[in-house]
Structure 1
Amino acid sequence: MTITVWEFAVLALAAGLVGFSKTAVSGANTISLAAFAAVLPARASTGVLLPVLIFGDVLAVLTYRRHAHWPTLWRLFPAVGAGVLVGTVFLLFADDAVMRTSIGAILLFMAAVTVWRRRSAERAAARDAGAARERASRAAAPSYGVLGGFTTMVANAGGPVMSMYLLSAGFQKLSFLGTSAWFFLIVNTSKVPFSVGLGLIDGPSLLLDAALVLFVIPGALIGRACVHRIDQRLFEQLVIGATVLGGLQLLLR
C-alpha cells in the first residue's frame, strides 16, 4: 500500500477526527470515512479504518464507561448482528467501484438521516413525551439496529444511525456518549473476523494502522476537553456539509 506524504497527512488528520468524534460528537467520523475512501481504494479504506475506529472506541469507553445504558444496548444487538451479516454478504460480491458508489450513497443518506434526527429531537423536546419516546425507541430498535449493522459493516458509517436512535430515545450527553462508546467497541470488534475473512484487513493495512492510531489520542483528548463547551448545533451543521461533499466526491470520482 503506497501513499504519498500528503495522503498520509490527510489520513492522520482523519484519524485525529476519529478520536475527537468518539469523545465529543458521535457520528462526526463520517468525515474520516470520506477522507479514507478518497485516499485509499474504497474496499481497502474500510479495512484500514476499522482498527483506527476500535482504538478510538477503547479511549471512549475508558472515558465514559460508567454512563452506558445497557438495556438499550441489549435491545439493539440482535438486530445489529443481522445487519452485519447482510453487509458481509454484500461485500462478498461488491467490487471497488460498487463499494465507492455505495459509500458515497451511504454518506449522503447519513447526512439526510442526521438532519431528520435533529429535527425529530427538537420536536420531541418541545413537548412532554418521555413515556411515548421510550415506547417509540423500543419499537424502532429492530429497524435502527439492522440499518446500523449494515452501514457499519459496509462503510463503517453506523454512527449517525446510532446517534439518531439515542437522541430520539431522549439520552442526555454523557449517557449518550457512554452508551455509544460501548456499542461501537463491541460491534466494531465483532466485525474484525468478517473483515479479515474478506481480505479487508491484512499485514500492510495493519502497518498503516500502527502509525495512524497515534493520531487518535490527541483527537480524543481534545474532544474530552471540548465536550462540555462545544456548540453542538453548529458542529453538526459543519459535519453534515462535509459529509455531503465527501459523498458527492465519491459518487463523481
Structure 2
Amino acid sequence: MDMMTIWHLTGWEFAALAAAALLVGFSKTAVSGANTVSLAIFAAVLPARASTGILLPVLIAGDVLAVLTYRRHAHWPTLWRLFPAVGAGVVVGTLFLLRADDTAVRTSIGAILLLMAGVTLWRRRTAGARPEEPEEGTTSRAGRVKARSYGVLGGFTTMVANAGGPVMSLYLLSAGFRKLGFLGTSAFFFLIVNVSKLPFSVGLGLIDGHSLLLDAALVLFVVPGALLGKWAVNRINQRLFERLVIAATVAGGLQLLLR
C-alpha cells in the first residue's frame, strides 16, 4: 500500500473521498448499487489495489446503518441461497488479488464498472418486456441456477472491486422484490459479505492501522449520507437518479481504463 499517497492527500482529493463516503451512506439507505461511483472515486484518488481495502470499512459502516434502518424487511431464504455461491466468488477474487498488480486491478475495476453499467441499462430496457418472477426468492431450478450465477459474480466483483452492488441489485429486482424487501435483504447481505471479507483484505495487506485512520475520518461522512438516503427514499426521482448513476459509472470506468 502506498502510504505516501494516503498521507499526502490534497484538500481536493480528501474532499472527493469524503463525497464518495457520503454517497456510500446514501446508496445504502436509498439506491443500492449507487456506490459504484464511490469506488471509481476511491480508485482514481488512491492506488487502485489499496483503494479496495480502504473503502471496505467505509462500506461496512454504511451497511450497519442500513441494517439498523431496514432490519425488519430482510428475506432470509434468499440470503441463505446466495451465500455459498458468493463465498466461492470471494475466494476466486482473493486468488486474483494475490497475483494482480495495481494496473491489473485498476483495469479490472474499470471493466467491471462498464459491465455493470451495461447490465443496468439492459435491465432498464427489457424490464417492460420480460415478466418478473412471481415470488421473492423462487425455489425453481432456474431460480437456483440464477442465484448461483449472480452469487459467484457478486462475490468476485465485491472482493476485487467492492462492486457487488449492481450485481445483487439486478438479482433482487429480477426476483420481484419490492422496495423495502429489496433494501432490507440487500443491507444484511452486504453487511455479512463485507465483514467476511475483512480477514482476506487484512491478509492481502489492503487494511492496516494506517488505512483505518483514514477510514475513521471518512466514516464521519457516511452517517449524514445515510440519513439523507433515509429521508429521500420515498421522495427521490428514481429514474433520473439511476440515469445519473449510470452516467457517472461509465465516466469512472472509462477514466480508470484510460488512466
TM-score normalised per structure 1: 0.96
2:252 corresponds, among 235, 246, 252, to 246
Number of residue pairs matched by the alignment: 251
Cα gap change, 1:250 to 1:65, in 2 (>3 Å): same
2:162 corresponds to 1:195 = no
Cα gap change, 1:4 to 1:197, in 2 (>3 Å): same
Q: Residue deviations 1:114-171, cap 9 Å, x none?
A: 11223343334xx575169934433300000000000000000000000000000000
2:22 corresponds, among 16, 33, 37, to 16
| SS of equivalent to 1:11 | helix
User: RMSD value over aligned CA atoms?
Assistant: 1.5
2:162 corresponds to 1:149 = no
In 2, the alpha carbon distance for the partners of 1:138 and 1:82 equals 15
Higher mean Cα deviation, 79-88 or 114-123?
114-123
Corresponding position of 1:137: 143
Corresponding position of 1:42: 48
Corresponding position of 2:88: 82
Higher mean Cα deviation, 108-117 or 241-250?
108-117
In 2, the alpha carbon distance for the partners of 1:138 and 1:53 equals 28
2:74 corresponds to 1:68 = yes
TM-score normalised per structure 2: 0.94
Q: 1:117–1:167: 8 Å Cα contact kept in structure 2?
A: no
Identity of aligned residues (%): 78
Q: Residue deviations 1:169-223, cap 9 Å, x none?
A: 0000000000000000000000000000000001111000000000000000000
Cα gap change, 1:131 to 1:181, in 2 (>3 Å): closer
- Unpaired runs of at least 5, structure 2: 1-5
Corresponding position of 2:123: 117
User: Where in structure 2 are the equivalents of 1:175-190 lying within 5 Å?
Assistant: 175-190=181-196
In 2, the alpha carbon distance for the partners of 1:238 and 1:99 equals 25
Q: 2:150–2:167: 8 Å Cα contact kept in structure 1?
A: yes
In 2, the alpha carbon distance for the partners of 1:156 and 1:128 equals 27
Q: Which amino acid aligns with 2:122?
A: W
In 2, the alpha carbon distance for the partners of 1:20 and 1:76 equals 24
